């Protein structure tokens, strides 16, 4: 009977040690996932604000059109149309970023469920057999997702600057025609 008790204690100690070796990597995954969710949410909200701002600028281009004389040289009208097309393209970029973020967010949520399952495994002392592979896979996903978010932030920043420049050029062009 003592040998069974001793075996049970050793088995439990080994099992707990097996779980404990994964505690920090799993907790780090959880923290990294939460940071990614926050960063992605903030970016998504920023893109939504930029879309609203862009819509205002784009619509103002057409609102100002009625103030411009009909007898402008064709080259001026062509330039105005090119600026409108460029502005429309900026809106397309914002919408594309938003759509990609929406799709990515669903995947982030799914990965969050996987991480929560690992956290639950820490609490219960029962991790899946392939815990190391899951940790590696989730870590790789989080690294790739963070890189993507950084790329989207850069794209949004570049688009915002280009959009502002296009609108300023349009305003300059149309106000110089009024004189």
Within a domain: 13:
no
Higher pLDDT, 139 or 11: 139
Helices 131-178 and 23-65 sit at what angle, rounded to 10 degrees?
20
Total of domains in the chain: 1
What would the pLDDT profile of 90-139 be if each residue is shown by its tens digit? 999 999 999 999 999 999 999 999 999 999 999 999 999 999 999 999 99
Residue 79 exposed, middle or buried by CB count within 10 Å (0-12, 13-18, 19+): middle
Q: Which domain CATH number covers 100?
A: 1.20.1270
Within a domain: 17:
no
Segment holding 54, helix H or strand E? helix 23-65
- What is the domain extent for residue 120? 23-178
What would the pLDDT profile of 45-79 be if each residue is shown by its tens digit? 999 999 999 999 888 887 766 656 567 788 888 99
Cα–Cα dist 11/7, whole Å: 6
What does the pLDDT read at residue 60?
A: 84
Question: What percent of the chain is predicted at pLDDT more than 90?
Answer: 69
What value does the mean pLDDT of the chain take?
87
Residues 29, 30, 33, 39, CA torsion sign: negative
Residue 155 has pLDDT above 80, yes or no: yes
Q: What is the pTM of this model?
A: 0.79
Residues 163, 47, 91, 63, CA torsion sign: negative
Beta-carbon count within 10 A of 59 CB: 10
Within a domain: 7:
no
């Amino acid at each position: 009977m003592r040998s069974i008790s001793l075996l049970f204690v050793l088995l439990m100690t080994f099992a707990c040690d097996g779980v404990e070796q994964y505690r920090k990597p799993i907790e780090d995954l959880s923290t990294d996932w939460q940071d990614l969710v926050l960063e992605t949410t903030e970016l998504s909200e920023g893109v939504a604000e930029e879309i609203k701002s862009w819509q205002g600028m784009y619509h103002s281009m057409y609102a100002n059109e009625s103030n411009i004389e009909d007898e402008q040289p064709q080259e001026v009208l062509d330039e105005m149309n090119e600026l409108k097309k460029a502005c429309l393209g900026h809106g397309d970029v914002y919408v594309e970023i938003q759509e990609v973020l929406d799709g990515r967010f669903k995947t982030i949520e799914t990965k969050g469920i996987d991480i929560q399952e690992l956290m639950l495994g820490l609490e219960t002392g029962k991790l899946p057999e392939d815990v190391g592979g899951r940790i590696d896979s989730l870590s790789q996903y989080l690294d790739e997702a963070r890189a993507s978010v950084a790329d989207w932030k850069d794209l949004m920043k570049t688009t915002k600057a280009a959009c502002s420049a296009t609108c300023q050029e349009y305003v300059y062009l149309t106000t110089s025609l009024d004189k």
